[in-house]
Amino acid sequence: MKILVPVKRVADPNVRISVAADGSGVDLTKLRMAMNPFDEIAVEEAVRLRESGTATEVIAVSIGGPKCVDTLRSALATGVDRALHITTDADLEPLAVASILTTVAEDLSPDLILMGKQAANGENGQTGQMLAAKLGWPQATFASKIEASDGTLTVTREVDQGLETIEVDLPCVVTTDLCLNAPRFAAVSAILKAKKAPIEERAAENLGMQLSPRLRTLSVGETSQDRANIKVTSVGELLEALAKTHGLLK
């Protein structure tokens, strides 16, 4: 089984972001960047599938500017076999990313595309399903468990009602939820080795597709969290305030 893992470089979600005062967007200049956490889980799962002998090759792909190489190197350090960088300076929407990945998948013919269910910056949660649609493949979103057998995957999905287990034929697209695994910390030796590993490069512009934006961001604002922050000192005082002011827990 050959696995393709798309990885995205995003602002480290553990760092507080700041919104530009003119409403133009989030100021990324000083932020620490990292691999999207859901993609880290996808990389880890793919590498485990290869380590267990289920997969024969794992290829990571990232789309974006020169710094995406860092993200690909961390995928290499975790244990992927090959890395492909699709270069572009454009800030691509999920539909454009799905279009590029469709071309990459047609070229590399993976049996499985394993990717994060959403990215920690745009929070769209669209790319995997769009990609599956464009390829005409089955999809298994929000995966918390993956078991491979001959030509099929059994995937447990995290849905609102609890867990759902489905069986999907390969090739397919699987998107990862947080529970799937706990990504490893790469060994120093693996990180050093990844630094020297070759990274294949292709320009998005040469893939011959229309990548024009379909959405326009008009403004970006800070989310307001205006709350009273009233200090109470006991459960009794709390219950009284909730009952008197809000009519709650009477």
Residue 233 found at the interface with another protein (CB under 8 A): yes
x/- map, 137-176, another protein, by CB under 8 A: xxxxxx-x---------x--xxxxxxxxxxxxx--x----
In the complex, least distance from residue 60 CB atom to another protein, rounded to whole angstroms: 22
**Residue 89 engages another protein in binding (rule: CB under 8 A):** no
Q: Cα(186)–Cα(123) distance, rounded to whole angstroms?
A: 26
CA distance 190 to 193: 5
Least Å from the CB of residue 122 to another protein: 6
SS (H, E, C) 132-162: HHHHCCCEEEEEEEEEEECCEEEEEEEECCE
Residues 196 to 215 in contact with another protein, rule: CB under 8 A: 213-215
Torsion on CA atoms 94, 19, 71, 60, rounded to nearest 10:
-10
Nearer to another protein, 30 or 227 (CB): 227
* Cα(28)–Cα(11) distance, integer angstroms: 7
Considering only 5, 35, 77, 130, the residue that binds another protein (CB under 8 A) is 130
User: Looking at 50-58, 67-75, 198-206, 240-248, which segment touches another protein (CB under 8 A)?
Assistant: 240-248
Q: Which residue has the tokens 């995290």?
A: 158
Min separation Cβ 154 and another protein, Å: 6
By beta-carbon proximity to another protein, the closer residue of 196 and 214 is: 214
Tell me the number of residues near another protein by CB under 8 A: 81
* CB-based contact 153:174 (threshold 8 Å): yes
Point out which residues pair with 85 in neighbouring strands.
62, 201
Window 44-83: contact mask with another protein (x via CB under 8 A): ----------------------------------------
Q: Is 30 in the site for another protein (CB under 8 A)?
A: no
Run of H or E including 172: strand 172-176
CB of 42 to another protein, least distance (A): 15
Phi first, then psi, for residue 227 (nearest 5°) are: -135, 160
CA neighbor of 83 nearest in space, from 176, 4, 193: 4
Residue of 66, 89, 232, 244 interacting with another protein (CB under 8 A)? 232
123 near another protein, judged by CB under 8 A: yes
Tokens for 236?
């009794």
Residue 80 or 135 having the CB closest to another protein: 135
What tokens appear for 30 in the block? 């000083």
Is the Cα dihedral 28, 71, 42, 5 positive or negative?
positive
State the minimum distance, in angstroms, from the CB of residue 220 to another protein: 5
